[in-house]
Amino acid sequence: MTRSLSTLLGVVLAFLGIAATPTPVAAAEQEDDAITWMVRPSDGVGEDGRSWVELELDAGETVQEHLLVRNLSASPVTFSLTAADGYFTETGRFNMLTADRESVDAGTWIEIQDDVEVPAGADVIVPFTITVPGNATPGDHPAGVAAAIRSGGTEEVGIESRVGFRVMTRVTGELAPAAAATAAGEYTGSLNPFEAGRIDVDYSVENTGNTRLSILPQVEVSTLFGWVSYTATGEEIVEIAPGESRSATISFPSVWPLFVYSADVTAAAEPVSEELPARGIEPASAHALVVAIPWPQLVSIAVAVLLLWLLWRDRRRRDRKVAELVAQARRDALAESAGDRQPALRRMAGSAGVAIALLLAGPPAMAATPEDDPVEIRVEIAPRTTPGATSPASPAPAIGGEDLATTGAPDMSAWLWVGAAAVATGAVIYSGRRRRAPQPELRSR
Instruction: Tell me the three state secondary structure of residue 137.
Output: coil
Looking at residues 62-83, what average pLDDT do you find? Answer: 96
Looking at residues 73-101, what average pLDDT do you find? Answer: 94
How high is the pLDDT of residue 281? 87
Q: Within its chain, how far is the Cα of 256 from the centroid?
A: 4
Q: Which helix (H) or strand (E) holds 65?
A: strand 62-71
Instruction: Please give the residue that has the higher pLDDT: either 82 or 393.
Output: 82
Instruction: Please give the residue that has the higher pLDDT: either 285 or 362.
Output: 285
How high is the pLDDT of residue 358? 61
Query: Whole-model pTM above 0.75?
Result: no
pLDDT tens digits for range 197-215:
999 999 999 999 999 999 9
On the question of pLDDT at 431 being above 80, the answer is: no
Reported as a pLDDT band with limits 50, 70 and 90, residue 64 is very high
How high is the pLDDT of residue 433? 58
In eight-state DSSP terms, residue 195 is S
On the question of pLDDT at 306 being above 70, the answer is: yes
How high is the pLDDT of residue 74? 93
pLDDT tens digits for range 174-186:
999 999 999 999 9
Reported as a pLDDT band with limits 50, 70 and 90, residue 150 is confident
In eight-state DSSP terms, residue 367 is P
How high is the pLDDT of residue 31? 42
Contacts 24+ apart (CB under 8 A), 348-357: 348/423, 348/424, 348/426, 348/427, 348/430, 349/427, 351/423, 352/420, 352/423, 352/424, 352/427, 355/416, 355/419, 355/420, 355/423, 356/420
Reported as a pLDDT band with limits 50, 70 and 90, residue 34 is confident
Looking at residues 1-30, what average pLDDT do you find? Answer: 38
How high is the pLDDT of residue 426? 72
Least confident range from 108-112, 129-133, 421-425: namely: 421-425
Residue 94's beta-bridge partner residues? 88
Looking at residues 408-435, what average pLDDT do you find? Answer: 65
CATH class of 179-293: mainly beta
Report how far residue 179's alpha carbon sits from residue 239's, in angstroms, rounded to the nearest whole number: 13
On the question of pLDDT at 383 being above 90, the answer is: no
CATH homologous superfamily for the domain 2-171: Immunoglobulins (2.60.40.10)
How high is the pLDDT of residue 4? 39
On the question of pLDDT at 340 being above 70, the answer is: no
Contact by Cβ (8 Å): 252, 274: no
